[in-house]
Structure 1
Amino acid sequence: MKNVRKFVGMLLALVMVFSMTAGAFAAENVTITAPAGSTRTYDVYQIFTGDLSGNVLSNVKWGENGTGKAGEAVAKEALDALTAVNSLSDTAKLTEIKKYVDLESTAIGTVSAEHSLDVAPGYYLIKDNGPVNDTEAYSLYIVQVVGPTTISPKTGTTTSQKKVKDTNDSVADSTTGWQDSADYDIDDAVPFQLKATIAQDYNNYKIYKLTFHDKEGAGLTFNKGSVKVYIDDKEITSGFEVVESPSDDDTFEVRFADLKQIASVQAGSVIRVEYTSTLNEKAEIGAEGNKNTMHITYSNNPNDEQGSENGKTPEDTVIVFTYKTVVNKVTENPDYDKSKDSNNDGIDDAGHEKYIPLKGAGFTLYKKDSSGKYAVVGDELKDTDMTTFEWKGLDDGDYKLVETTTPAGYNTIADIEFTIRADHQIKSDNPELTSLTGGDIFTGTVENGTLEADVINNTGSTLPSTGGMGTTIFYVLGGILVVGAVVLLVARKRMNDEK
């Protein structure tokens, strides 16, 4: 009997120890951690505390950041209201949840990849503090009943892109697809494209603002009337505005006050803007090119019900190149002595150059179109003292140079046909002009975009004559005959008068 009592006493002691241990386990803190490698920090707000069994929280009391008094029991009506929104979307759930948390109060702690946080079992709101990089967004508030938890933020990525098309006027059907560089003639309308891809978490936003920012160099003139906007390849004509010369130094902006008002927009939608700008007389010639840069700003915080916080995509630049042709009019220098050009460099030992500038010429440049016909590129270049002729702002293609005014005493040159060819990177974040040629006649220089050639005029020929004084004799004999005829006429008149 004594042994039985001892056994019962030991059993009761074990039960008490187990009960105490179970209570201790129930009261133990749990750990919230951030993903490894994450650069973001997260504020943790305690809404409720309670006893946790699986995902069920019982004996629920107000937490440090709840809207009730910490430690007091939460009314059944509040818990029923929260339970009722379980089947709704995350944004709809948050509308109800935010009624019970004071986000102006001090969070109970912060979590990062380097710092976890131990908290009592309960109901917590986790706020993403960033930092948010280009194309990224803040996570929607994470709210959950917390056992040991690793934060899994739900964020989306918004991206943008800018492209240009290229056309060779001398070749039929030569317009390219969208790429990063092109070349055009001055006065050509250059086609551009802007694109934005909407983030995957778009549905988490109540208002979603988006703006295309476009900035052009002085060599491009924006054509506002050319703007067309597409949502997933279908053109729209409302829901946006085009603003020229906004205060932030952009050339123009295409603004969407709230994409949520356009029913066809959804997560992953592609918004496309197409327009033209004209290459003008201020265009940069050569490798510098005429740059056109864009980026977009967009709503990046789904917790901001006004959509006023803006993310920004990296700038994307395309370049439009153009070139110039320079013709130097020259003729042979009569003082040049080839036999004394010891270096064979076109300058004799006395310093006389083989060719010297020639005045009095005039040239007209023509460009071949895709049908094979030539059209004039500007007016004839001509001036009494002009020896250098320059055509600025030329595209690649086929050309013909015609001497339309020839210096007196010189032979007109044959028409010169040549082709401008240029290579530039069409798929690059930093497109560059890599080569420039003009056939056998012209020498191309990439840096300044110049194709230059010396065009030589040869003097006319003094043709040989024979007979020496023969012409003079004819003049003298003719004079004598005229005088004789006059004398004869006078004599006959006198004879008639005497009769």
Structure 2
Amino acid sequence: MKKAKKLLGLLLTMVMMMSVAITAMAEDETYSITINNSAEGHTYEAYQIFTGDLSTNEDGGKVLSNIVWGSGVSEAGQTALGDAAAKAETLKTEADAKAFAKEVAPYLTTAAGSASTVTDGKYVISVLTPGYYLVKDQEGSLTGDNDAYTEYIVRVVGNVEANPKSDVPEVEKKVKDINDSTDDDMTDWQDSADYDIGDSIPFQLKATLADNVSSYTTYKVVFHDTLSKGLTYNNDAKVYIDGAETEGFTVTSTVNADGTTTLTVSSDDVKSLDAGNNSVITVEYTATLNENAVLGSAGNPNEVYLEYSNNPNKSEAGNNETGNTPADKVIVFTYKTIINKVDGEDKPLTGAEFTLEKYNKETDEWKAIAVVKNDEGTTFTFSGLDDGNYRLTETKTPAGYNTIEPIEFTITAEHDVLSDNPALTSLRGNETTGEITFTSSTTEGSLSADVVNKAGSTLPETGGMGTTIFYILGGLLVLFAVVLLVSKKRMSCEK
């Protein structure tokens, strides 16, 4: 009998996947379960599993004797599970209690007690008669939220307090940056970057799993990543679990009607891929900045959210209830340079052609970005530029004007590199050779400047001082010739 009482005492103090502080109090007619540190949105229910005679042993522990099935277990459940006292005898460890909680859960029928809403982080279920209770979140109460169901709580009443155990993963998206005119290496992972159209951009998705993955039978993880229409996915995603590459994920990409791309990276059970509590799952891929890229401060935002298993009490294969994290965003910026061709009087000038080149430090050479012709117009736009060093060359000059010397200039941009909503904070253009002055607009992502062509030298017109001297000299020569001719004739006559 003493042995049976000790076993029942152990059973009554077990905690189902949570830490519990039991407050020893004198037995009252009814009792309460207080759930501490409870998040808003949780609605808890208590189901009486066993009932019987509640007493306190000599060590102050609660003992339930003369055990029978409680009011929270259906008749079908009582039949399927067998004798209540015999079932209680099998619960010798915490693992046994965990398994029993899931076994009895399908047969829960009527919630007991009077529940309250969360107040100051406490949720109280009161007016409970003596017994052994399974406490859980109300079904469907957390649909779609960034929250997880509390693991089943199995408690005996006297008055008790419990600290619920539930956890959710986190996800973040990052991008790397480089100024290829000046830098040798890329930056660390950050929240914004700027690139030229045509550049390949590295992205990273990183999920840190919940600290109770081990409580789930299977654990589902799905990255839902959206690339703006200015980015083309390069079909090169790689997935890592705690730093080791894995091929256990399914990767799909879909181009949507609005031009965006949805990238989905999923596994129905990361536990089968050796992921566990607090594991880090990383996805790395590249995308190319394309001609649809948005210029200026609006940039090209890209977001990811994580879908994850959030009910450890129902996590069998194919039966995962899931929640979603908030989305995390990065932005890729790109810019444009606008050249206005004018004459020496600042009047628009047609008939020019320009080539823009960018210096690449790795190859130590200038690479042509674009050639822009505009025979009838006077404005030349070079879109999709990164920060860096550039050279503008006039490859066709308006007739009657002198060709300008090549102009070298630097584009410098600043943007938030660590921010939930990164912003473009400044954009500047500065000449290094030649004459050019830029006007900046961060909103449009533009640097505008006038480039002046000066007219060539012209010959003096008729009647000008320059031709008069030729007329005078010509007249003198004619006169000299006449005098010489007359002199010769006189000399001939005299002979």
Distance 1:291 1:403, change over 3 A: same
Say if 2:282 is the partner of 1:272.
yes
Aligned match of 1:172: 183
- Structure 1 position 131, deviation (Å): 4.7
Aligned match of 1:242: 252
Return the match for 2:90 from 84, 90, 93: 84
Q: Distance in 1 between matches of 2:282 and 2:64?
A: 48
Aligned match of 1:118: 127
Distance 1:69 1:55, change over 3 A: farther
Q: Matched residue of 2:71: which SS?
A: coil
Q: Distance in 1 between matches of 2:311 and 2:255?
A: 28
Distance 1:149 1:38, change over 3 A: farther
Return the match for 1:332 from 321, 332, 344: 344
Q: Matched residue of 2:99: which SS?
A: helix
Distance 1:133 1:200, change over 3 A: farther
Q: Distance in 1 between matches of 2:276 and 2:351?
A: 68
Say if 2:55 is the partner of 1:59.
no
Aligned match of 1:220: 231
Q: Please list the CA deviations of residues 203-246 of structure 1 after superposition, one character each: whole Å capped at 9, or x if unmatched.
A: 1111211100111221111122x101011111112243334358
Say if 2:325 is the partner of 1:313.
yes
Q: Matched residue of 1:435: which SS?
A: strand
- Structure 1 position 435, deviation (Å): 0.5
- Structure 1 position 175, deviation (Å): 1.1
Q: Distance in 2 between matches of 1:122 and 1:31?
A: 11
Q: Please list the CA deviations of residues 311-337 of structure 1 after superposition, one character each: whole Å capped at 9, or x if unmatched.
A: 11111111000000000000024xxxx
Aligned match of 2:418: 427
Aligned residues of 2:359 and 2:388 also touching (Cα < 8 A): yes
Return the match for 2:47 from 45, 48, 51: 45
Q: Please list the CA deviations of residues 274-295 of structure 1 after superposition, one character each: whole Å capped at 9, or x if unmatched.
A: 1111111011010110010110
- Structure 1 position 423, deviation (Å): 0.6
Distance 1:55 1:432, change over 3 A: same
Aligned match of 2:302: 292
Say if 2:407 is the partner of 1:398.
no
Please list, as runs of the form range in 1=range in 2, the aligned pairs for 1:21-170 lying within 5 A after superposition.
Answer: 28-35=29-36, 38-39=39-40, 40-52=42-54, 53=56, 54-68=61-75, 78-87=84-93, 89=95, 93-100=97-104, 103-112=107-116, 113=118, 115-129=124-138, 131=142, 134-170=145-181
Aligned match of 2:13: none
Q: Which deviates more, 454-463 or 294-303?
A: 454-463
Aligned residues of 2:76 and 2:107 also touching (Cα < 8 A): no
Q: Distance in 2 between matches of 1:110 and 1:301?
A: 24
Q: Distance in 2 between matches of 1:471 and 1:191?
A: 77
Q: Please list the CA deviations of residues 1-53 of structure 1 after superposition, one character each: whole Å capped at 9, or x if unmatched.
A: xxxxxxxxxxxxxxxxxxxxxxxx76722222232664322111011111223
Aligned match of 1:210: 221
Q: TM-score, normalised by structure 1?
A: 0.78
Give the % identical residues: 45
Aligned match of 1:303: 313
Q: Distance in 2 between matches of 1:363 and 1:176?
A: 33
Letter of the structure 2 residue corresponding to residue 31 of structure 1: S
Q: Distance in 2 between matches of 1:446 and 1:295?
A: 29
Aligned residues of 1:158 and 1:196 also touching (Cα < 8 A): yes
Aligned residues of 1:127 and 1:141 also touching (Cα < 8 A): yes
Q: Matched residue of 1:172: which SS?
A: coil
The runs of 5 or more residues in structure 1 that have no matched partner are: 1-24, 334-354, 477-499
Q: Tell me the matched-pair count.
A: 423
- Structure 1 position 253, deviation (Å): 0.7
Distance 1:386 1:73, change over 3 A: closer
Q: Distance in 2 between matches of 1:111 and 1:453?
A: 70
Letter of the structure 1 residue corresponding to residue 32 of structure 2: T
- Structure 1 position 469, deviation (Å): 5.2
Say if 2:470 is the partner of 1:461.
no
Return the match for 1:199 from 210, 225, 234: 210
Letter of the structure 2 residue corresponding to residue 179 of structure 1: Q
Q: Matched residue of 2:393: which SS?
A: strand
Q: Distance in 2 between matches of 1:247 and 1:382?
A: 33
Aligned residues of 1:62 and 1:68 also touching (Cα < 8 A): no
Q: Which deviates more, 299-308 or 357-366?
A: 299-308
Letter of the structure 2 residue corresponding to residue 169 of structure 1: D
Q: Distance in 2 between matches of 1:289 and 1:399?
A: 22
Q: Distance in 2 between matches of 1:42 and 1:247?
A: 43
Q: Please list the CA deviations of residues 405-440 of structure 1 after superposition, one character each: whole Å capped at 9, or x if unmatched.
A: 111211111111100000101111111001100015
Q: Distance in 1 between matches of 2:256 and 2:218?
A: 23
The runs of 5 or more residues in structure 2 that have no matched partner are: 1-25, 432-436, 461-465, 479-495
CA RMSD of aligned residues (A): 3.0
Return the match for 2:335 from 304, 323, 334: 323
- Structure 1 position 109, deviation (Å): 3.0
